[in-house]
Structure 1
Amino acid sequence: VGWGTFINFLAYKLEKKGGKLVEIDRWFPSSKLCSNCYYQIDKLPLDIREWTCPNCGTRHDRDGNAATNIRSEGIRILQTDGTAVFANGGEVRPKIGRKSVLRHSSVMLEAHTIIVSI
């Protein structure tokens, strides 16, 4: 009950601010999928925290790789749904509130996302 209440609350708050909650399939292989070449390994026990992709040789931190894959899957779902997602520097900053005292310009922090459907 607690998790469902949290999800409902989160969805409500996001919609109120113009956002959208995207749920990823519970069985999506986020940890076992190489975020570089999309190769999926068969088994990855929970005690293995880092692994190297046998296809491209990229070394992955289990949690960091999973986060990258979940983000990419969420963007893919939004694009399939017809909802555009852009998060480049200044466009994501709120228009209200106190101005930054750092006086720096916004920069593009995100790498290009490549979505492959298999």
Structure 2
Amino acid sequence: MRFSTLLLPFAAAPLALAAPEPNPVAPRAPASTGGLLSELPGILDGVQELLSKDTINNLEVIVSGAAKLLSSDNIDILQDILNNAHTLLTKDFVDNTTTLIGDATPLVEDVSKLLGGVLGSL
């Protein structure tokens, strides 16, 4: 017997281990537990309602208005407004304004009654 005939099975063994025969049967798909896939038809119906022609037109108006508002010319102005509002709207200012409005409410009601009486007598 030749020496090469004895070594041939040993030489082929690593190749057989490196490339095993593929499994012809795929694993079973997991069972559906409901979740998002079972809700998909309802979601698609809702999206279809949201994407009506009127909604898309309204979104175009909103986006174009926001683009004008957030133009490069307005960014500095808007930043100034926000900075001033942040400086002005302190807790003390809000508390004092709330108190002032609460104190002025009865006065406004009395003036309203007085004007109603004056106009009624004319």
Higher helix share: 2
Higher strand share: 1
Larger radius of gyration: 2
TM-score range, shorter-chain basis? Answer: under 0.3
Structure having greater relative contact order (Cα 8 Å, sep ≥ 6)? 1
